[in-house]
Chains A and B, each alone.
Chain A
Amino acid sequence: MIDSLDASTVQYLQAAALLLVGLYGIIARSHLLRKLMAMNILQVAVIVFFIALSTKFGATVPVVPAAATAGPIDPAAYVNPLPHALMLTAIVVSVSTTGVALALLIRIRRRFGTLNEPALLDRLRE
């Protein structure tokens, strides 16, 4: 069993596990801040998945020295940089979403005095 698990499979399993943890947290947790943290874990899962896509074993950073450009370039020797670039954008998105969410939570807490969902629903019904 363990023999058949190479490092990239482990990365994919890690992404899947994080995804499930995130989804579970968003659904099952009753504190809104915990839901937000679970949402962040979900976003990290997607980032891990993309980074795992770009991994090649025995490859290095995709920077080709000027001296080496004379001959043909072996793509297997370099890691794919595109998923990393995409994930930089995804991280920015994640940070912005979290920022907006925290601002909302501050307002909810100030007005209703709680971030616990059952208690909050009680206040909303009043």
Chain B
Amino acid sequence: MSEHLPILIVVVPLSAALVVPLLGRRSSTAAHAVTLATLAATLVAASVALTRVLRTADGVWQYELGGWAPPWGIEYVLDPLSGGMSVLVASLALAAAIYAGPYLRTSGPDRIGLFDSLYLLLVAGLLGIVATGDLFNLYVFLEISSIAAYALLATGGDRAAVATFRYLLVGTVAASCYLLGIGYLYALTGTLNMTDLSARLAAADQPTATAVGVGLIVIGLAIKAAVFPFHGWLPDAYTYAPPPVTGFVAAVMTKVSAYALYRVLYFVLGAEPAAASALVFLGWAGVAAIVAGSWLALAQSDVRRMLAYSSVGQMGYIIFGFSLGSPIAIVGALFHVLNHALMKGCLFLVTGGIRWRTGLSSVAGFAGVGRRLPLSATAFAVAAVSMVGLPPTAGFFSKWYLLLGAFEAEAWLGVAALVGSSWLSAIYFFRVLERLFLGADESRPAPERRDLPFGMLAPALVLALVVLLLGLFHQPVVTHLLERALPPTVS
């Protein structure tokens, strides 16, 4: 059984997605219990696989799907990078699913089965993107996760339907660009396997066609990762979606696309001059994203929208770190992938919970809410402090590595953007925290003090706790996981 772990990570949630809607017709409680059990099993499988990968010397676990040897068959590759990403995706999936329980019971218990089915498909798609070693298989999983995400995001109401339709158009253009780019690379090499393609592309010696293919792939994945200036779909889609969906999608979906970008540019096309040019372009896009995202976040009066624009800026951090290409900058970017997933997941879960409990989501409306929901507000505060980048939270250390990388590369504009955006994020987060804890609540009679139900509170608190612990114990994570996730050309 254990030798099949790389495929089980994907197949377990995928098959549960088929069972859950049928079960949901009988009993929504049973359907949600099965969903939680499935996600817990997926998390265990991903963790076991990761520890096994980390124990081996070369740190690569190749799995031949259906016994077909690559490059003819599809290959799944778990290394410290994809193994770590799959644990991250699986744990946030479980956290958001636990949170979804109480939310769904109040908003529409008869639809829990359908919601959970789509949610499991989304998780399976994201895990597939992470685990696969085949470019076309990656496209299929990209679309599985996207289609499930469209359906889930649209459950947030009528405005969500309009926002999601736009996302669907943009997302499909992105996927088509990516597919066309693969077509170019396939035409040059006759293979879709990442390792095999990497070796054959150098021999093909067709710089123009390679550049077109790489350009199309990079544009496609950059749109999916909401890299500035391709971020237009993101703010509306995140703002109007139901809280458990935003909590999960905002936390991991753009990061998984950023992972795909990193994997393709460094591991598959590491030796290509076209990839180097693409990284230069992405570096500038990243710096622009950091500035624009933080600036736009400052201008928002709705907390959800503010968080969405802050995500645009944070994706800029990650992409900028990847583009610098030095070990320390890439470690910073990878660490920020991990941190931002935890922090943004926590922030969106709490914001959604506050809106669910009080109906408020504007910065002004948050006045005094910290006294009504003290524990949720504390989780929000920890994640917000980490977003700003104050020690000892995890956010400080990833920004520190990024800053060191930028200094090392003498990218002064990047240094200025990193420092400036930290100031801006301090302003927009402390503005919310000030309202949350010190603002006076004028409503009469004074609303009772009642925190979120345990199922919604616990995931947010755990994420906040992990943010703190990750900050205190960042050294082992960096040396045992992140430094082993560097591409061979860099380390």
- Using a CB–CB cutoff of 8 Å, the interface residues on chain A facing chain B are 19, 23, 26, 32, 35-36, 39, 42-43, 45-46, 49-50, 53, 83, 86, 89-90, 93, 96-97, 100-101, 104-105, 107-108, 111-112, 120, 124
Contact = CB atoms under 8 A, between A and B. Distances in A.
Contacts of A45: 176
Given A39-B172, A39-B173, A107 B140 contact: no
A-B pairs with lowest CB-CB distance, top 8: A111-B158, A93-B143, A104-B165, A107-B161, A46-B176, A104-B161, A100-B150, A46-B179
B173 A107 contact: no
Interface string B162-199: 10110011001101100110010011000000000000
Contact of B161 (A46, A89, A93, A108): A108
A50 B187 CA distance: 9
B162 A42 contact: no
B180 to A, nearest CB: 5
Contacts of B172: 39, 42-43, 97
Contacts of B176: 42-43, 45-46
B168 A90 contact: no
A104 B239 CA distance: 17
A83 B186 CA distance: 9
Interface of B: 136, 139-140, 143, 147, 150-151, 154, 158-159, 161-162, 164-165, 168-169, 172-173, 175-176, 179-180, 183, 186-187
15 contacts: A42-B172, A42-B173, A42-B176, A43-B176, A45-B176, A93-B175, A97-B143, A101-B150, A101-B169, A104-B150, A104-B164, A107-B158, A108-B161, A108-B165, A111-B158
Contacts of A42: 172-173, 176
B173 A124 contact: no
Given A93-B140, A104-B164, A35 B169 contact: yes
A42 B180 CA distance: 11
A72 to B, nearest CB: 19
A56 B143 CA distance: 30
By DSSP majority rule, is chain B's interface helix, strand, loop, or mixed?
Answer: helix
A39 B169 contact: yes
Contacts of B150: 97, 100-101, 104
Nearest to A49: B183
Given A26-B173, A49-B180, A107-B158, 10 more contacts: A42-B172, A86-B136, A96-B147, A97-B168, A97-B172, A101-B165, A104-B168, A108-B158, A111-B158, A111-B161
A49 B179 CA distance: 10
A116 B161 CA distance: 14
B140 A89 contact: yes
B180 A46 contact: yes
Given A46-B183, A53-B183, A93-B143, A26 B151 contact: no
Nearest to A53: B187
Contacts of B140: 89, 93
B168 A50 contact: no
Contacts of B136: 86, 89
B183 A124 contact: no
A90 B154 contact: no
Given A46-B183, A49-B183, A100 B168 contact: yes
Nearest to B157: A111
B70 to A, nearest CB: 14
Contacts of A124: 159, 162
Contacts of B183: 46, 49-50, 53, 83
A97 B147 contact: yes
B162 A108 contact: yes
A108 B180 CA distance: 31
Contacts of A35: 169
Nearest to B140: A89
A107 B186 CA distance: 40
Contacts of A105: 165
Contacts of B180: 19, 46, 49
A31 to B, nearest CB: 12
Contact of A107 (B143, B147, B154, B179): B154
Contacts of A93: 140, 143, 147, 175
B216 to A, nearest CB: 10
A77 to B, nearest CB: 17
Contacts of A26: 169, 173
A19 B172 CA distance: 13
Contacts of A111: 158, 161
A50 B175 CA distance: 15
A23 B161 contact: no
A32 B176 CA distance: 19
